[in-house]
């Protein structure tokens, strides 16, 4: 990120406010960012991504205080996990706010949210607010770790690519659903046993793995 964070934040905020589609680095891959309540921008993201119907889009935040307009409630398990693992590679599935568009939730009534472990991104989102964070690739292609790859594949489709150099790649975030029985939807960078131990330390239980 060659530009200073305030200057970059102002540029990103201006673009997002005008329905823009930006590409931002995360702790794993580059992601496609639009404003989460902007339905035309969300439709554009779906079109560029070529995303399959019925798949929700995760959101990225810069601070837990940004959760309020996105969720109906913060269950106790979410509070435990946020305190331990955020910022970091943990996506938590919350009951979605009623006002959140179906283009984000895919009609599931839920929303996956992560406070990224990428500090430059966190600094940016503290000033810009929540954005979508789906990987910056067309459906079916590998998620990109380099801005050059995004440019080659999506360059004409996006308004801004924030080049922060190669991202680490690796395993995706672990996804935990805390809306009812606490369950792991996808085991990723944080192991199931680590999640289970933290929950147990607070009197909470992770649902058993299905066989």
pLDDT in tens, 38-83: 999 999 999 998 866 668 999 999 999 999 999 999 999 999 999 9
Distance, in Å, from the CA atom of 208 to the CA atom of 167, rounded to the nearest integer, reads: 33
pLDDT tens digits, 130-178: 999 999 999 888 999 999 999 999 989 999 999 999 999 888 899 999 9
User: Which residues fall within 8 angstroms of residue 103, CB to CB, at 6 or more apart?
Assistant: 39, 42, 43, 45, 46, 57
Distance, in Å, from the CA atom of 80 to the CA atom of 77, rounded to the nearest integer, reads: 5
The percent of residues above 70 in pLDDT, for the chain, comes to: 95
Cα pseudo-dihedral 86, 91, 94, 100, rounded to 10: 110
Distance, in Å, from the CA atom of 6 to the CA atom of 126, rounded to the nearest integer, reads: 10
Determine the length of the chain: 211
Distance, in Å, from the CA atom of 184 to the CA atom of 194, rounded to the nearest integer, reads: 12
pLDDT-derived band at 208 (thresholds 50, 70, 90) equals: confident
What integer pLDDT is reported at residue 9 of this predicted model?
Answer: 93
pLDDT over threshold 90, residue 98: yes
Find residue 115's DSSP bridge partners: 61
Q: Tell me what the pLDDT averaged over the chain comes to.
A: 93
Which homologous superfamily is 5-200 in?
Answer: DHBP synthase (3.90.870.10)
Is 30 in contact with 144 (CB distance < 8 Å)? Answer: yes
pLDDT-derived band at 2 (thresholds 50, 70, 90) equals: very low
The enclosing H or E element of 199 equals: helix 192-200
Please state the domain extents for the chain: 5-200
The SS3 of residue 113 is strand
Q: Pick the closest to residue 131 from 5, 20, 54, 28 (CA basis).
A: 20
């Amino acid at each position: 990120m060659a530009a200073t964070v305030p200057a970059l934040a102002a540029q990103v905020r201006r673009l997002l406010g005008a329905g823009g589609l930006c590409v931002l680095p995360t702790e794993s891959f580059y992601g496609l960012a639009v404003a989460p309540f902007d339905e035309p921008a969300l439709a554009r993201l779906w079109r560029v991504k070529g995303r399959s119907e019925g798949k929700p889009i995760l959101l990225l935040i810069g601070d837990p205080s940004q959760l309020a307009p996105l969720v109906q409630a913060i269950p106790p398990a979410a509070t435990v996990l946020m305190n331990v693992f955020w910022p970091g590679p943990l996506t938590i599935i919350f009951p979605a706010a009623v006002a959140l568009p179906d283009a984000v939730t895919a009609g599931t009534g839920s929303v996956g949210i992560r406070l990224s472990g990428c500090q430059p991104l966190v600094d940016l989102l503290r000033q810009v607010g929540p954005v979508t964070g789906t990987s910056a690739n067309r459906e079916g292609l590998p998620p990109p770790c380099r801005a050059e790859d995004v440019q080659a594949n999506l360059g004409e489709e996006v308004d801004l690519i924030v080049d922060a150099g190669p991202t680490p790649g690796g395993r995706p975030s672990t996804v935990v659903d805390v809306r009812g029985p606490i369950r792991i939807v996808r085991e990723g960078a944080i192991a199931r046993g680590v999640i289970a131990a933290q929950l147990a330390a607070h009197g909470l239980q992770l649902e058993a793995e299905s066989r």
